[in-house]
Structure 1
Amino acid sequence: MDDDMASDVIESVGDTTTALQEVEKSYSECKETEDLPNAFCKVLQRVDLVKRTLQYFSSHVSEHEHDKEFWEEAKANMDRCEQRAKNVQVLFRKVVPARNKSRLERYRETAKTLGGIEENKVETLMVGLLGDVKSLAGTCVVELEGPMAEAVENIQIEELSKELSKAIEELIDLPPSLSEVASENSINNWSRGTQNINTGRGTQNNNTSNGQQYIGQSQTFGHNLDQSAKK
């Protein structure tokens, strides 16, 4: 075993977990916020799965011997995983709290600062994280030479991989939380309320109840027509 590389990997697991724990602290605030893209809360729901997989990986490597090739692959995975986790951490720290500047505007600026909008959308980062830890879990498969414990461990890995794959698919199916180009008229409604929007110059009249609505700059009703006819 390469002790230095193994130490680096274990340290990276700890740093990644710490970053994700800070993200979890945003849960209540994110839950109460209605002007955030839904992707933030969906990502938050997958943080625990990433942490559980990292914990599983950490327990596995403490109980099994591995060669240099294993640790090289694990380090490459953890380097990506840690960076993505820290980027998610920055997004939640910069975007979720209420401030004067709109959350969507802060989201766009922060994603650009992290290296680009496309690769730093919150759901894209989490898809990458889930893929990284899924690869780590895959390296934990043990050779079945007899002990039933090894068979049980491989079943656990298979179940974990299925859960990770499902989470990845669900996030991929989400509508993009941020576009490359900011719309001149960016209109978002992340809550359930009625949204009435007029981005032009014309009159806007909205009726969200059950009553009748009569609209017009000049209106003539049947009674008035009768009066005109008599004259």
Structure 2
Amino acid sequence: MSGAEVIGLISGIIGIVDVIIKVYGAAKDATGLPSSFRVVVRRLPLIKDTLETAAGGLDETESEVYFAALKGVLEACGEKADALEKIFRRVMVDQDATRAERYAAAVRTLGKGRKVEDLMDGVLGDLQTLSASCAVRAATRTQLRSLVEESKNISEKGLEDKQSPFIGNYGTGPQSIHTGNGDQNVNIGSGAQFNGNFTGPFTFSSPANC
């Protein structure tokens, strides 16, 4: 196994990452997607940076033993990235089924039951292994560790602040809630009820099955 072959494997994963970014970006909207999709998409640019940094920081004077050890890691990483791409393709295309339904079907058939967050965690684990390899220059290893940690730290923080507030009631039977002073209107029959003083627009939709 040579440095050039390792770079080839890394380039292949970068290509898959680019496809996922394009598939998500080409979609008309992300309505109905589990929040984990947005987390994955936010991580992808840093994943790409990590891979590019690794490819540019290989120490080709090192023993082929180190490169051979990376082969299995990168092949496993590529398989996870490929599974992510297939899930994104199946979920993002326009079809009659809801995205939640398509996601469930894709997980069952493509990812061996692994969800997007599990696949992404696996990719980050593989990159962490890459960042510790002696086949990568010492200075580059430091950069890689920093990038991997930065990618791990990207989560739902910041996403929820941008989402519209919602009020939901699920299940059967009456619900009576009163936490302070004021009127309370209770409906124990059929029909919708929405009372109060509000500012700004409200949007009503069914909850996603995810």
Q: Distance in 1 between matches of 2:83 and 2:172?
A: 35
- TM-score (structure 1 length as normaliser): 0.65
User: What is residue 124 of structure 1 aligned with on the other side?
Assistant: 118
Query: Deviation string for 1:126-181 (max 9, x for gaps)?
Result: 111111112112215878xxxxxx6x5454244234324434xx48x9xxxxxxxx
Matched, 1:11 2:8: yes
Does structure 1 retain, via aligned residues, the 8 Å contact 2:73–2:130? yes
CA contact (8 A) 1:140 1:157 kept: no
Find 1:203's aligned residue among 176, 179, 190: 190
Three-state SS of the structure 2 residue aligned to 1:206 is: coil
Structure-2-length-normalised TM-score: 0.71
Structure with the larger RCO, 1 or 2 (CA within 8 Å, 6+ apart): 2
Paired with 2:48 and 2:27, the residues of 1 have a C-alpha distance of: 19
Q: 2:143 aligns with which of 156, 171, 182?
A: 156
Structure 2: 5+ residue stretches without partners: 158-162, 174-188, 199-210
**Shift of residue 105, structure 1, vs aligned partner:** 1.1
Higher-Rg structure is 1
Aligned partners of 1:57, 1:208: CA distance in 2, in Å?
57
Identify which range, 27-36 or 122-131, moves more after superposition.
27-36
| 2:178 counterpart residue number | none
Which of 96, 99, 115 aligns to 1:100? It is 96
2:23 to 14, 26, 30: 26
Structure 1's 82 and 199: CA in aligned 2 closer, same or farther, altered over 3 A? farther
Consecutive unaligned residues in structure 1, runs of 5 or more: 144-149, 174-189, 212-231
* Distance in structure 2 (CA, Å) of the matches to 1:133 and 1:76: 12
Query: Residues of 2 paired with 1:102 and 1:210: CA distance?
Result: 33
Which has a greater percent of helix? 1
> 1:66 matched to which residue of 2?
62
Kept after mapping to 2: 8 A contact 1:60/1:140: no
Aligned residues: CA RMSD: 3.1
